[in-house]
Amino acid sequence: MVSETLNPDAAPPGFLRDDGEKPEWRVEAGLIAYPDAVALMEARAEAIARGEARELVWLIEHPPLYTAGVSARPEDLIAPDRFEVFASGRGGQYTYHGPGQRVVYVMLDLNKRRKDVRAFVQ
């Protein structure tokens, strides 16, 4: 269940679409493998861009793993064999993900909103 702090009806100005359509909110109960999550996100983002799917805010948990951002250096990982490591292609260094840690993946069409990433993040 989506809590009050994650209430999509409480979106700040500039976050809502001009047409009033709200994204789908999905909260997964079990663990989702990172490669499966990436594949779903890529497919969903492409479908959203084509206008064939609703936007999605997806809350999931992964099995224990590290994601390696574009700034990650192999020598910085203290125990490289402890968990699987996945290159993320995003900023940052290494990030741990695992059970009990909710990850929020936001798939929105910013062309349908105010194009202001700082306002969106705020």
* Residue-wise pLDDT tens digits, 42-63: 999 999 999 999 999 999 999 9
Q: What is the pTM of this model?
A: 0.81
Say which residues have a Cβ less than 8 Å from residue 5's Cβ, sequence separation at least 6: none
Q: Residue 16: is it exposed, middle or buried by C-beta count within 10 angstroms (0-12/13-18/19+)?
A: middle
> Strands 84-87 and 56-61: what pairing?
unpaired
pLDDT digits 0-9 by tens, 10-40: 555 556 777 888 899 999 999 999 999 999 9
User: What count of other Cβ atoms lies within 10 Å of the Cβ of residue 14?
Assistant: 12
